[in-house]
Amino acid sequence: MTSQALCALSGIEIQKKVASGDVSAVEVTNAFLERITHQDRKLHAFLYVDAEGALAQAATVDRARKAGETLGPLAGVPVALKDNLCTRGVPTTCASKILAGYVPPYDADAVERLRRAGAIAVGKTNMDEFAMGSSNENSAFGPVKNPWDETRAPGGSSGGSAAATASSMASFALGSDTGGSVRQPGAFCGVTALKPTYGRVSRFGLIAFASSLDQIGPFARSVREAARVLSVIAGHDARDATSTTTAVDDYEAECGKEVRGLRVGVVADALGAGVDAEVVKATRAAVAKLAELGCEIVDVSLPHATHALAAYYLIAPAEASSNLARFDGMRYGLRKTGDDLTATYGTTRAEGFGPEVRRRIMLGTYALSAGYYDAFYVKAQKVRTLIRRDYDAAFKKCDVVLTPTSPTTAFKLGEKTSDPLAMYMADIFTLPPSLAGLPAVSIPGGYSADGLPIGLQLTGRAFDEKTLVRVSDAYERASGWLSRRPSEIV
């Protein structure tokens, strides 16, 4: 097969061909590395490409197949890893100057699981610095461009992983989602993007932004592929105190099942002011399609979701203020020596952190300071509880909740950088599930008149990812959107 044809295959098709010996893992890896060389000059999705390491992993897979060993469910399938996932022997910077030169001595738990499943890690992807952003323009190393329109943002903070998947530079990718950082770029780049329930996937080795919100999730070209990846990376890990012992389902087995009788809750307020007309139209069309498939459509309400933005931008910066205190130039990364220890700390952090990270550290430190802790942080946590209760009430009436993923399609690069609040508003639909700790998936739900993807978000009960997969897969198969790809992709 040609390199282009190999890159156009799904990850599931690649695994089958490698397992059968139709192609070698080394052939597949070389094809994707060649594509990265060609495509990433324009998109800047990768911060580091580990060609030598990827080919060594691929050779290991090929030796195992020749020896008659049973191959893993992702054997020979190329994966891209967001650059806040620790990867043994490979630079991991969080797209920040302050971690320049840092090479972890260990793998994140999710990376370990991918390696055991036979996946081939081809490189580390660009991102908003320390996962703080909605456009990937906060990277210290320059923005990623959207494969559908290179003048537009790919979304953030996992924009590099979304762009790499959409442009077939990797079969799938991992990102992290704190307030929408998997789902929003998934919507902007027209791929499936799944945020699992908080605690479903270990956070060990994920460089923390906001510890009570961060969760690792996959990007893939189809729901079935995302389901397979989730089954691999999910599971208990004793190294993460928040990791659940809840059994891992066979998520891929949900694909192809009927959805007749399942109840889809539609939040009417989510289709009101501030949402682009084309997004509203696509969402209503998706609701109609699900009704055609036999789903029962019910109205639900999330009355406290309007406060999610304010609550999130108190809770997440407060936790970031604490988590990022460790980056002081003493043990790893950048160090700018001052006249004394305090000056060294100050100079290192001032030069190492970008403007958005500094902004959020200051917001968080203020929210935690004496006299303001109860007024801001504690109150935001109470709002978080109310949002979770709203979902509990909604799930008494429905099995999944449906909203758009983002109120707009991908905006122009530079369009919102001077207005942080306008940028934050891009996450108004993704924040409530994050605050509630619930699983949510973004799938392609249509396209705008100028050909940009529109994302559809489905949110499920805690640890009920299998229902999300079932409904998402049924819609994907019925909609026909899976066949739409960026213009240069076969």
- pLDDT tens sequence across 439-473: 999 999 999 999 999 999 999 999 999 999 999 99
In 3D, which of 165, 97, 179 has the Cα closest to residue 134?
179
Q: Give me the amino acid identity at 320.
A: A
Residue of 134, 181, 434, 442 marked active site: 181
Calculate the alpha carbon distances from 188 to 105, 145, 222, 418, 490 in Å: 34, 11, 15, 20, 19
In 3D, which of 314, 324, 367, 313 has the Cα closest to residue 130?
324
Bridge partners of 177? 215
348 part of a folded domain:
no
349 part of a folded domain:
no
- pLDDT tens sequence across 229-271: 999 999 999 999 999 999 999 999 999 999 999 999 999 888 8
- Exposed e or buried b per residue across 282-297, where buried means at least 16 C-beta atoms within 10 angstroms of its C-beta: bbeebbebbeebebbe
409 part of a folded domain:
no
Task: State pTM to two decimals.
Answer: 0.96
Q: Domain range spanning residue 55?
A: 3-255+469-483
Check if 82 is active-site.
yes
Considering the chain, what is the average pLDDT of its residues?
Answer: 95
72 part of a folded domain:
yes
Strand runs (DSSP E) across 73-156, as ranges? Answer: 78-82, 120-125
Helical (H) or strand (E) element with 173? strand 172-177
Please state the rounded mean pLDDT for residues 175-201: 98
- pLDDT tens sequence across 302-349: 999 999 999 999 999 999 999 999 998 888 888 888 888 888 888 899
374 part of a folded domain:
no
Strand runs (DSSP E) across 301-425, as ranges? Answer: 400-404
Do the Cβ atoms of 424 and 313 come closer than 8 Å? yes
> What is the C-alpha to C-alpha distance for residues 459 and 400, in angstroms, rounded to an integer?
5
367 part of a folded domain:
no
- pLDDT tens sequence across 38-63: 999 999 999 999 999 999 999 999 99
The count of domains in the chain is: 1
Check if 181 is active-site.
yes
Regarding beta strands 215-220 and 453-460, do their DSSP bridges make them parallel or antiparallel, or are they unpaired?
unpaired
Check if 157 is active-site.
yes
Residue of 17, 24, 82, 168 marked active site: 82
**Beta carbons within 10 angstroms of residue 481's beta carbon:** 20
17 part of a folded domain:
yes
Residue of 134, 139, 157, 448 marked active site: 157
106 part of a folded domain:
yes
The domain that holds 221 is classified in CATH as 3.90.1300.10
Is a pLDDT exceeding 80 seen at residue 490? Answer: no
